[in-house]
C-alpha cells in the first residue's frame, strides 16, 4: 500500500522503515530540511538498534521529502507522527498535529485514512476532523483513526515488528479495513493481537498505558525507599512480588525516576485530560511527585557520600534517559548533572551515544571519551543510565584511577558485595 508518515522522529522514522520492511511504499515527510537531507543521503539521524539496517535494506520503498502535499496526494493512509510535547502547563501541545491536519485537508486527492500515531488526548480525532472540514476537506474523502504507538526507544524496531498488540480505533468500517490491511503482514499468523476499539478508547489506551507504567516505576521507587529505611533489600522484595503472575517483574526496577519524552509529559497530560472532564486523578499527581522526590533523594545520597559538593570532581556515566538510545529529553541524568553544576561540582561525563544531544544543553561539562576517562581523578563516580557497558567495568581499574573510590549507582547495576570486595564504597537504591 502507499503510505505517508508525517514526522521523521523516533516514532515516524521507525514506523516508516518498518512499514517499508513489510512491503509498503512509504513517503516520509518532515519539516526539518536538515533531517530530510540526512535521510536522503542515507544517514540515520537517531540512534536506534536495527534502524540503519532497515533504512538501507528497504531504501527502494522509501521516499524522504519536505513536501507534505505530494506525499498525501498519493497515499491511502497518512500517519501523523509529529511531537505532542508538554505545553508548559501540563497539557499536550497539539499545535503540531493541528498544523498537519490543516495541510493534509488541502492535499487530499482520494479517500484517505488519517491516522493518529502521535500520543494525543482523548477526543483529538474529533478536533482533527473538524479542522480538516474547516480547511475544505470533503467529508466523504477521509476518516480519522487512532493507532497509538507502543514502541520503546532502544528496542523500537523489534517492538514495532513484533508488538504485544496493535490497537486500531475508529468508527469507520472502511478505515478499519485499510488499517487491518496495512498491518496484515504483522498480524496474519495470528500471533499478534489486533484490538479494535472506538477512537476515543484507543486514544485513552495510550495515555492510560504510559500513566500505568509511570505508576509502576514510582511505586517500586517508594518501596525501595522503605527498604533503605527498614534495612530490607529491594532486589529480594522485587523477586518476591514480581514472581506473582498478577504483578510481573517488568518495570519493577528502582532507580532515579522515569524520564524521556513520553512518561513525564503523558502522565501530566493524562492528569489534565481527566481534570478537563471534571475528574481529579489524584493518584497521578502522587506518581509525579514521587518521581520528582526520587531525583532529590538521589542528590541527597550523593551529598551524604561526599559530605560537601562545592568543588568536587564528579565522573558521570550516562546522559540518555535510558540505555539503548541517544534521547536525552527529560533525562533524569541531565537533571542531576544540572543540579550538581549549580552546587559547584565539576562534571566529567560519558555516554556511548548521547553526548551529541547532551552538548545541545550548553552545559559546562567535560565530555569524556570512555567510562574510565570519566572516572579518572574523580571524587565519586555516578551511574545514571543503564547502559550494558556500564555494568561490566573492571572494578580494580576503576579503584586505581579514581581519587576516591566512591560509586553512587542510580541504576543498581552492581552487586554491593562485588563492589565491597573491590574496595569501592558503593551506594545504590533500596539495598543495604
Ligand atoms: P520527535 O520529536 O522525535 O519527532 C517529531 C518529528 O516531527 C520531528 O522530526 C519534527 O521535525 C517533525 N515535525 C513537526 N512538525 C511537523 C510538520 N508540521 N510537518 C512535518 N514534520 C513535522 O518525536 P517522537 O519521539 O517521534 O514522538 C512523536 C509522537 O509519538 C509523540 O506524540 C510521542 O508522544 C509519541 N510516541 C513517542 C514514543 C517514543 O518512544 N519516542 C513512543 C510512542 C509514542
To which CATH superfamily is domain 2-197 assigned? NAD(P)-binding Rossmann-like Domain (3.40.50.720)
- Ligand 1 centroid – CA 14 distance (Å): 11
- Ligand 1 centroid – CA 32 distance (Å): 12
Question: Mean pLDDT of all residues in the chain?
Answer: 98
Cell matching residue 413: 547495576
Residue-wise pLDDT for 333-365, tens only, equals 999 999 999 999 999 999 999 999 999 999 999
Residue-wise pLDDT for 264-316, tens only, equals 999 999 999 999 999 999 999 999 999 999 999 999 999 999 999 999 999 99
- Ligand 1 centroid – CA 93 distance (Å): 12
- The verdict on the CB of residue 208 being under 6 Å from ligand 1 is no
**What whole-number distance in Å separates Cα of residue 229 and Cα of residue 322?**
27
**What whole-number distance in Å separates Cα of residue 385 and Cα of residue 331?**
9
**Are 254 and 234 a contacting pair, CB within 8 Å?**
yes
To test the ligand 1 pocket, which listed residue (83, 119, 320) has its Cβ within 8 A of the most ligand atoms? 83
178's CB contacts (< 8 A; 6+ apart) are 1, 76, 77, 113
Domain boundaries, the chain: 2-197, 233-427
To test the ligand 1 pocket, which listed residue (146, 261, 265) has its Cβ within 8 A of the most ligand atoms? 261
Q: Is 18 a catalytic residue?
A: no
Shortest-distance Cα residue to atom 41 of ligand 1:
10
**What whole-number distance in Å separates Cα of residue 389 and Cα of residue 374?**
14
pLDDT score of 263 more than 90: yes
CA distances from 220 to 112, 152, 203, 287 (A): 44, 20, 27, 11
Residue-wise pLDDT for 126-140, tens only, equals 999 999 999 999 999
Domains 2-197 and 233-427 agree in fold = yes
Catalytic residue among 8, 18, 227, 262: 262
Residue among 19, 28, 27, 18 at smallest CA distance from 49: 18
What is the DSSP annotation of 272-291?
Answer: HHHHHTT---HHHHHHHHHH
- Ligand 1 centroid – CA 215 distance (Å): 24
- The verdict on the CB of residue 124 being under 6 Å from ligand 1 is no
Shortest-distance Cα residue to atom 17 of ligand 1:
31
pTM for the whole structure:
0.96
- Ligand 1 centroid – CA 241 distance (Å): 36
pLDDT score of 232 more than 90: yes
- The verdict on the CB of residue 30 being under 6 Å from ligand 1 is yes
What is the DSSP annotation of 370-394?
Answer: SHHHHHTT-SEEEE-S--GGGGG--
What was the pLDDT predicted at 93?
A: 98
- Ligand 1 centroid – CA 153 distance (Å): 13
- Ligand 1 centroid – CA 239 distance (Å): 36
What was the pLDDT predicted at 375?
A: 98
Q: What proportion of the chain, given as a percentage, has pLDDT over 90?
A: 99
What was the pLDDT predicted at 432?
A: 85
Shortest-distance Cα residue to atom 12 of ligand 1:
7
pLDDT score of 370 more than 90: yes
407's CB contacts (< 8 A; 6+ apart) are 380, 381, 382, 383, 398, 414, 419, 424, 425, 426, 427
- The verdict on the CB of residue 262 being under 6 Å from ligand 1 is yes
Which atom number of ligand 1 is nearest to the Cα of residue 261?
41
pLDDT score of 389 more than 90: yes
- Ligand 1 centroid – CA 80 distance (Å): 9
What was the pLDDT predicted at 382?
A: 98
What was the pLDDT predicted at 96?
A: 98
The single-letter DSSP state of residue 38 is H
- The verdict on the CB of residue 7 being under 6 Å from ligand 1 is yes
- The verdict on the CB of residue 36 being under 6 Å from ligand 1 is no
Which atom number of ligand 1 is nearest to the Cα of residue 96?
15
pLDDT score of 395 more than 90: yes
What was the pLDDT predicted at 407?
A: 98
Shortest-distance Cα residue to atom 37 of ligand 1:
11
- The verdict on the CB of residue 318 being under 6 Å from ligand 1 is no
SS3 207: helix
Residue among 250, 261, 266, 252 at smallest CA distance from 206: 266
pLDDT score of 77 more than 90: yes
Which atom number of ligand 1 is nearest to the Cα of residue 92?
32
- The verdict on the CB of residue 81 being under 6 Å from ligand 1 is yes
To which CATH superfamily is domain 233-427 assigned? NAD(P)-binding Rossmann-like Domain (3.40.50.720)
- The verdict on the CB of residue 99 being under 6 Å from ligand 1 is yes
The single-letter DSSP state of residue 61 is G
Amino acid at each position: 500500500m502507499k503510505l505517508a508518515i508525517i514526522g521523521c522522529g523516533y516514532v515516524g522514522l521507525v514506523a516508516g522503515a518498518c512499514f517499508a520492511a513489510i512491503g509498503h511504499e512509504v513517503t516520509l515527510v518532515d519539516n526539518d530540511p536538515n533531517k530530510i537531507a540526512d535521510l536522503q543521503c542515507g544517514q540515520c539521524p537517531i540512534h536506534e538498534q536495527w534502524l540503519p539496517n532497515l533504512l538501507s535494506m528497504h531504501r527502494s520503498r522509501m521516499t524522504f521529502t519536505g513536501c507534505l502535499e505530494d506525499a498525501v496526494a498519493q497515499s491511502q493512509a497518512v500517519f501523523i507522527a509529529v511531537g505532542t510535547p508538554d505545553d508548559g502547563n501540563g497539557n499536550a501541545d497539539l499545535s503540531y498535529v493541528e498544523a498537519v491536519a490543516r495541510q493534509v485537508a488541502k492535499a487530499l486527492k482520494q479517500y484517505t485514512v488519517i491516522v493518529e500515531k502521535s500520543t494525543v488526548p482523548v477526543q483529538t480525532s474529533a478536533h482533527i476532523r473538524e479542522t480538516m472540514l474547516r480547511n475544505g476537506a470533503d467529508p466523504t474523502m477521509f476518516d480519522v483513526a487512532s493507532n497509538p504507538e507502543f514502541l520503546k526507544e532502544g528496542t523500537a524496531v523489534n517492538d514495532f515488528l513484533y508488538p504485544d498488540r496493535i490497537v486500531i480505533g475508529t468508527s469507520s468500517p472502511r478505515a478499519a479495513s485499510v488499517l487491518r490491511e496495512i498491518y496484515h503482514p504483522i498480524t496474519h499468523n495470528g500471533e499478534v493481537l489486533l484490538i479494535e476499539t472506538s477512537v476515543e478508547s484507543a486514544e485513552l489506551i495510550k495515555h492510560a498505558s504510559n500513566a500505568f507504567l509511570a505508576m509502576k516505576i514510582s511505586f517500586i521507587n517508594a518501596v525501595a525507599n522503605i527498604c533503605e529505611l527498614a534495612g530490607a533489600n529491594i532486589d529480594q522484595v522485587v523477586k518476591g512480588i514480581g514472581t506473582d503472575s498478577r504483578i510481573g517483574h517488568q518495570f519493577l526496577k528502582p532507580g532515579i525516576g522515569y524520564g524521556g519524552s513520553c512518561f513525564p509529559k503523558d502522565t501530566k497530560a493524562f492528569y489534565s485530560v481527566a481534570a478537563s472532564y471534571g475528574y481529579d486523578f489524584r493518584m497521578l499527581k502522587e506518581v509525579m511527585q514521587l518521581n520528582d522526590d526520587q531525583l532529590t533523594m538521589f542528590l541527597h545520597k550523593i551529598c551524604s557520600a561526599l559530605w560537601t559538593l562545592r568543588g568536587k570532581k564528579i565522573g558521570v556515566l550516562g546522559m540518555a534517559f535510558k540505555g539503548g538510545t541517544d534521547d536525552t529529553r527529560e533525562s533524569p541524568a541531565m537533571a542531576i548533572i544540572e543540579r550538581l553544576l549549580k552546587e559547584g561540582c565539576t562534571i566529567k561525563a560519558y555516554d556511548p551515544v548521547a553526548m551529541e544531544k547532551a552538548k545541545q544543553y550548553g552545559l559546562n561539562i567535560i565530555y569524556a571519551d570512555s567510562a574510565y576517562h570519566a572516572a579518572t581523578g574523580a571524587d565519586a563516580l555516578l551511574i545514571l543510565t543503564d547502559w550494558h557497558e556500564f555494568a561490566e567495568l573492571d572494578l580494580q581499574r576503576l579503584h586505581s584511577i579514581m581519587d576516591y573510590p566512591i560509586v553512587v549507582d542510580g541504576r543498581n547495576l552492581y552487586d554491593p558485595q562485588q563492589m565491597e570486595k573491590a574496595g569501592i564504597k558503593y551506594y545504590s537504591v533500596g539495598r543495604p
